[in-house]
Amino acid sequence: MCVLHSSGNRITPRLATRYQQTKISPFRNYNSPMGVYIAKRLLGLVPVFLGITLLVFGLLHLIPGDPAVILLGERATPEQLAALRSQLGLTKPLWVQYITFIGNLLQFDFGTSIISGIPIAEELRSRFPATLELTLAAMLVALVLGIPAGVVAATRKNHWLDHLTMTGSLLGVSLPVYWLGLLLIYLFAVYLQWLPASGRISIARTEEPLLGLYLLDSLLQGNAAVLLDALQHLVLPALTLGTIPLAILARITRTAMLEVLSQDYIRTARAKGVAERWVIIRHGLKNALLPITTIAGLQFGTLLSGAVLTETIFAWPGLGSWIYDGILARDYPVVQGGVVFVAGLFVIVNLLTDLLYRAIDPRIQYR
């Protein structure tokens, strides 16, 4: 059976098959199993995790210091120090310690803290919600303020709003986090006394935590006092931590919007009489979301890894300050387990960001 092309030429069945394959080839992989792509990504993470564990293990053991001396003090006798090192497994060869560490990880056993004696998994369960809550609040500040600022700067190119936005974003990237945090504490906690200076909450909680997220738990339990107190403690750390992502997102949004607004379809939409706000939102911002999503995902993964300076300044009981204290105390299990957990979070966030691309642009294919 022959196919008649729209031009009037006859096409043989063989040519018709080739024509159909060529016609649909750009979209052939749209229905490919998402699980295959995810499986490939997960398999590719195996050498990455091995490299991370090896790097952290090696660098940590190169740092001067002895956990036995930290635990027993400098007045401890050599016999006491040797007995404690043997008890902690520090006298074994490094390769044996590393293999033991990897074997425990495969069983989801992160070990036990040398200093506190608390299992690492238990510490992660208690501290990760604090970091997650702070990260979500900081990213909310960055997204709500950064993307609109970038859009305004792009639509008002060379206007004073554009110069003001770019100057503010430059300051946001340049200001040291510890300096900004101390400045906000002095202004809003010490001078104006509007907000608390540190901590996560000041009210004694009588309810059992549901998820460890104080804002969400208080909403689910209907405790307005805890909700208000937790929100007041969250404002300053979230503003401090969200400053750099906000500035980066504003600059990336401006750059992406300027490129999109110069395209032909934008001029066509305007020529058809589409309202300017819909041109910017539906045709401009929607097509500029890919680079914005990439940067937002990277920033979210970075913040979720634990903001050491912000958590230390505001005495926030999260992963960053916990791992930092573990480094100072030469608590090997804390640092090793914490870094591996953080690396896993970062990888998962990157994978979810890649999967989000398809929702933004259906033309993207996963291979």
Q: Is the pLDDT of residue 7 over 50?
A: no
High-pLDDT (> 70) share of the chain, %: 85
- Could you tell me the two tokens for 225? 């006092």
Q: Are 10 and 1 in contact (CB under 8 A)?
A: no
The answer for residues whose C-beta is within 8 angstroms of residue 29's C-beta and 6 or more apart is 365, 366, 367
Distance CA 343, CA 296 (A): 17
pLDDT of 24 > 50? The answer is no
| pLDDT band with cut points at 50, 70 and 90 for residue 248 | very high
On whether the 120-360 domain is CATH 3.20.20.70, my answer is: no
Average pLDDT over residues 238-254: 92
What pLDDT is recorded for position 81?
A: 76
In terms of Cα–Cα distance, which of 222, 245, 221 is closest to 307?
245
Nearest C-alpha neighbor of 283 from the set 259, 300, 307: 259
pLDDT at 204 (0 to 100): 67
Q: Do 299 and 142 form a contact (C-beta atoms < 8 A)? A: yes
Judged against a pLDDT cut of 70, whether residue 12 lies above it is answered with no
- Report which of 216, 355, 344 is spatially closest to residue 297, judged by C-alpha positions: 355
- CA 31/CA 190 separation, integer angstroms: 58
Judged against a pLDDT cut of 80, whether residue 18 lies above it is answered with: no
For residue 72, pLDDT beyond 50: yes
Instruction: Sketch the domain layout of the chain as residue ranges.
Output: 35-106, 120-360
pLDDT, residue 208, reads 66
pLDDT band at 91 (very low <50, low <70, confident <90, very high): confident
Q: Is the pLDDT of residue 15 over 60?
A: no
Q: What is the mean pLDDT of residues 74-101?
A: 78
Q: Residue 210: CA atoms inside 13 Å, Cβ hemisphere, count?
A: 11
* Helical segments of the chain, H only: 13-24, 34-62, 67-72, 78-88, 94-106, 120-155, 160-174, 177-184, 214-221, 224-261, 264-271, 276-278, 289-304, 308-313, 319-328, 332-360
* Mean pLDDT calculated for residue range 241-254: 92
Q: What percent of the chain has pLDDT over 90?
A: 17
Cβ-defined contacts of 268-271 (< 8 Å, 24+): none
Identify the pLDDT of residue 25.
Answer: 41
Give the pLDDT of residue 306: 62
DSSP for 211-246, please give it: SS-HHHHHHHHT-HHHHHHHHHHHHHHHHHHHHHHH
345-to-142, 255, 306 alpha-carbon distances in Å: 20, 29, 11
Asked if residue 367 has pLDDT above 70, the reply is no
pLDDT at site 96 = 83
Using CA atoms, how far residue 241 sits from 122, 338, 364, in Å, is: 26, 20, 32
Question: Which of 37-46, 65-74, 220-229 has maximum average pLDDT?
Answer: 220-229
Confidence of residue 366 (pLDDT cuts 50, 70, 90): low
**Position 4 pLDDT exceeds 70:** no
Q: Give the global pTM.
A: 0.79
Higher-pLDDT residue of 68 and 326 is 326
Q: Among 19-23, 179-183, 341-345, where is mean pLDDT lowest?
A: 19-23
CA-based torsion, 174, 178, 181, 185: positive or negative: negative
pLDDT at 211 over 50: yes
If you average pLDDT over each of 144-148, 206-210, 311-315, which comes out highest? 144-148
Of the two residues 239 and 355, the one the predictor is more confident about is 239
CA neighbor of 60 nearest in space, from 339, 341, 318: 339
Q: How far is CA 146 from CA 49, 243, 296, in A?
A: 33, 9, 10
d(CA 253, CA 293): 10
The closest of 152, 141, 149 to 250, measured between CA atoms, is 149
pLDDT beyond 60 at 249: yes
Q: How confident is the model at residue 183 (pLDDT cuts 50, 70, 90)?
A: very high
- pLDDT, average across residues 53-58: 82
- 242 closest CA partner among 141, 136, 131: 141
pLDDT digits (tens, 9 = 90+) for 129-156: 999 999 999 999 999 999 999 999 998 8
